[in-house]
Amino acid sequence: MPEALSGISFVLALLFYGAASALFFLDVARSRTRLPSATDFVGLGVGPHHHDPAARPSAAAAPASRHAPLLLGLGALGHATYVTLASFVARVCPVHSVHFMLSVASLFAIGVYLVARRRFRIDALGLLIGPLGLAFLLGTFFLGKPHAEQKLSPLFIAAHVMANLLGIALFLLAGASAALYLVQEKRLKQKRHVERLGSLPPLDTLDRAVHRFLSAGFPLLTLGIVTGTYWAHRLEMGNTEEVMRAIFGYATWLLIALVLLLRAAAGWRGRRAAYGTIAGLACAAAVLVIYLVRPAAGLGG
């Protein structure tokens, strides 16, 4: 009976977390910002860092869906129920595991967020909180199944690998757009080769390209992170390669999420978004290097 209840609470938490994360992402992805183009600066005597204050979005430019916080709270309730039943009754999850501690930390973070989101206008933080709760829930679930890897479905492996590869491909495009943005901005600022700028897209076009590529790649990377928790028990073994891959993988996800979050909540775009995108791409490249230099013995997270 306790195992059945823990299974039900896990499935409910999974569904609520997933739905809340999707709603938060859609709110952030729908945010609209405009960056002045190259033609706005030529001949005006102003640098590309100068923006019309009216074009800067407010913190409430992308309000969270009214249902997303409710779904997040229900997911946290199911998460807490599952951790309690699995740890103290069914004995599925080891109490002293780092993943158990992360689950508890994520529950506290969700609680603080739900209480403070309206007062401090931090609804957009749901973009980070929802997927993290989902990832820690799955990490705790898979820890109790050390032999499950032998029954791994080829479809599951394909979904994990393809999500990561497609996500990285889109981040490469975003990184290329960000690099072009920085080149274009530097030329405008120094007022050199202005007559040759027609070969490069305007700044606002490049900025939108960065945002769109990141918005398309972020759900795929999130799927890769979530499915990668299947191999969470490897982190408990202290393998350096696994730990470094996990660190750089989560760092990539966190940086890209922050770029999207700050664009929606604080109007971050242009140069700052470009630097953040390139930093996230560097972390993704580090994960690929680890795979190539010291390939895993089998398909892993």
Write the pLDDT tens digit of every residue in 141-195.
Answer: 876 554 444 566 788 888 888 998 898 889 989 998 999 899 888 888 876 555 5
Do residues 20 and 129 lie in contact, with contact meaning Cβ atoms separated by under 8 Å? no
Q: Say if pTM beats, i.e. exceeds, 0.85.
A: no
pLDDT tens sequence across 212-228: 999 999 999 999 888 88
> Virtual CA dihedral for 56, 60, 65, 67, nearest 10 degrees?
160
Tens-binned pLDDT, residue by residue, of the chain (301 aa): 677 888 899 999 999 999 999 999 988 777 654 444 444 444 434 444 444 443 444 444 445 568 999 999 999 999 999 888 877 765 655 555 666 777 888 999 999 999 998 887 888 888 889 998 998 888 878 765 544 445 667 888 888 889 988 988 899 899 989 998 998 888 888 765 555 545 677 888 889 999 999 999 999 999 988 888 777 656 656 567 777 888 888 899 999 999 999 888 888 888 999 999 999 989 988 888 877 776 544 444 4
